Amino acid sequence: MARFADPQRLRRLIEGLDRFTATPGRGTTRLTYSAQFRQAADFLRAEMEAAGLGVREDEIGNVIGRLDGANPERAAVMVGSHFDSVPNGGRFDGPAGVVAGLEVAFLLRQHGLLPERPVEVIAMIEEEGTRFGGGLAASRILTGALDTARLGALPDDDGVTMAEAMTAYGLDPALAHRAVLEPGSLHAFLELHIEQGPVLEARGEDVGIVERIVGMAQVKATVRGQAGHAGTTPMNARRDALVGAVGALARLPDLARETGPDAVLTVGKLEVRPGGANVIPDLVTFTVDIRAPQEEAVRALVERTRSAIEAAGGNGLTVEIEEQLFVPPVPLSADLHATLSRHAAALGLKSRSMVSGAGHDAMIMAGFAPTGLVFVPSRGGISHAPEEWTDYEQLARGVDVLFAAVCELTLPPGLRP
């Protein structure tokens, strides 16, 4: 049983948030700045207020609840994750970490604890990059790694830029730069996330304490040819963008295998235009997601992918490649890793040190403040799918570890529960 966190409250929060999806009954689809996203933000505002937090939305739409504590001028401990989703994803990816932060706030209130420094709970936008590509947008903007002047150049699949979508959401993109955190304003950043893999469940362990997150890159390729009639255009007279793209795509998995056993490559989005069964395609776009534990492997695979795509050019086809994201492998704070591991043990939980194959805002925040990341088990290791599941008791045990660490970071020994 969890020592502090309340599984039923966690269930209420997760299920409450999961009502706001564009694909009810077919998983969670909640795109940044969408109508569902606004509803979710309003739900989170209300819960943060109920937890005794002062609530604001920053200039890019992050929802932030703050408990000033005894010394408001001190650097804050920030706890949170993202509340956007992949298409038809699960209800825990992101929200588990947001509700974990909320639960920490509820527990501080319940135990009558006044932290010595501010505690902030954050629900972040656009971690997945489902709408505007790349991903990790909130943490990259907060830490100055993504220039807000570029938000007008990040289009979604309908050509609506992030800046335009912000305006429609009621934000002013010209003020987005004000969301950037002051250096030194965070004492620590802590994130709880579902593992999204099979290890903890397979080994019967309660929590994973992440020591490092693999490097990742994302490129977007565009192959252009000439539209034409499927019936009247001889095969040797075609500039078929899809035939060119397929040639490149077919080679990519082997490039990953040749790069090394831990390198992975995924083509997750592919669009063929104009999309008529009797029309020769003149435009194909696709994304390539690349990950590896070593930076040089990521770089090597990006370059080999780039070459394979460029080889599709010629014979009347042109190719464009846009690098949407590059993040080297990130070691997380050894001190916070030790703190989290010590509290897991003190709580009688089975924990293991892990490397994360999934990307998280923690990998960006780690460049700004000492950062820790706690995993809880995923049933069958499934994620980015409607079947994603974590038992609420398991989630509560992970929150206990987070709560104990927050208390250590914000309370003198004699006042910690």
Binding residue for ligand HGY (CB under 6 A) from 2, 358, 376, 406?
358
N-to-C CA span, the chain: 17
Spell 18-42 as b/e; 16+ CB within 10 A means b.
Answer: bebbbeeeebbbbbbbbebbeebbe
28/333 with CB nearer Mn ion: 28
Question: Quick one: which segment of 86-94, 254-262, 322-330, 401-409 binds Mn ion (CB under 5 A)?
Answer: 86-94
227/355 with CB nearer ligand HGY: 355
Q: How many CB atoms lie within 10 A of CB 250?
A: 10
Determine the Cα–Cα distance for residues 149 and 164; give it in Å rounded to an integer.
13
Spell 43-82 as b/e; 16+ CB within 10 A means b.
Answer: bbbebbeebebebebbbbbbbbbbbbbeeeebebbbbbbb
User: Least distance in Å: CB of 128 to ligand HGY?
Assistant: 5
Residue nearest to Mn ion (CB): 93
Binding residue for ligand HGY (CB under 6 A) from 18, 120, 127, 240?
127
Tokens representing residue 20 in the block: 């706001």
Residue type, 382: I
Q: Is residue 59 a contact point for ligand HGY (CB under 6 A)?
A: no
265/349 with CB nearer ligand HGY: 265
| Interaction partner, residue 94 (Mn ion, ligand HGY, none; CB < 5-8 Å by kind) | Mn ion
User: Least distance in Å: CB of 53 to Mn ion?
Assistant: 22
Q: Is residue 388 a contact point for ligand HGY (CB under 6 A)?
A: no
3-class state of residue 18 by DSSP:
coil
Which residues neighbour 394 within 8 Å (Cβ) at sequence distance 6 or greater?
A: 206, 376, 377
Rg over alpha carbons for the chain, rounded to the nearest Å, is: 22
User: Least distance in Å: CB of 125 to ligand HGY?
Assistant: 13
Residue with tokens 């939305």: 57
| Interaction partner, residue 359 (Mn ion, ligand HGY, none; CB < 5-8 Å by kind) | ligand HGY
Q: How many CB atoms lie within 10 A of CB 332?
A: 25
User: Least distance in Å: CB of 364 to ligand HGY?
Assistant: 11
Q: Is residue 128 a contact point for ligand HGY (CB under 6 A)?
A: yes
| Interaction partner, residue 108 (ligand HGY, Mn ion, none; CB < 5-8 Å by kind) | none
Residue type, 171: L
Q: Is residue 93 a contact point for Mn ion (CB under 5 A)?
A: yes
Q: Is residue 135 a contact point for ligand HGY (CB under 6 A)?
A: yes
Determine the Cα–Cα distance for residues 138 and 150; give it in Å rounded to an integer.
13
Q: Is residue 362 a contact point for ligand HGY (CB under 6 A)?
A: no
* CB 295, CB 328: distance < 8 Å: yes
Binding residue for Mn ion (CB under 5 A) from 94, 133, 197, 377?
94
Question: Quick one: which segment of 127-135, 182-190, 253-261, 273-281 binds ligand HGY (CB under 6 A)?
Answer: 127-135
| Interaction partner, residue 57 (ligand HGY, Mn ion, none; CB < 5-8 Å by kind) | none
Residues 264 to 293 in contact with ligand HGY, rule: CB under 6 A: none
In three-state form (DSSP H/G/I as H, E/B as E, the rest C), the secondary structure along 83-126 is CCCCCCECCCCCHHHHHHHHHHHHHHHHCCCCCCCCEEEEEECC
| Interaction partner, residue 135 (Mn ion, ligand HGY, none; CB < 5-8 Å by kind) | ligand HGY
28 secondary structure, DSSP code: B
Tokens representing residue 228 in the block: 């034409």
Binding residue for ligand HGY (CB under 6 A) from 359, 370, 372, 377?
359
Tokens representing residue 55 in the block: 């609530």
Interface residues with Mn ion (CB under 5 A) are: 93-94
Interface residues with ligand HGY (CB under 6 A) are: 127-128, 135, 358-359
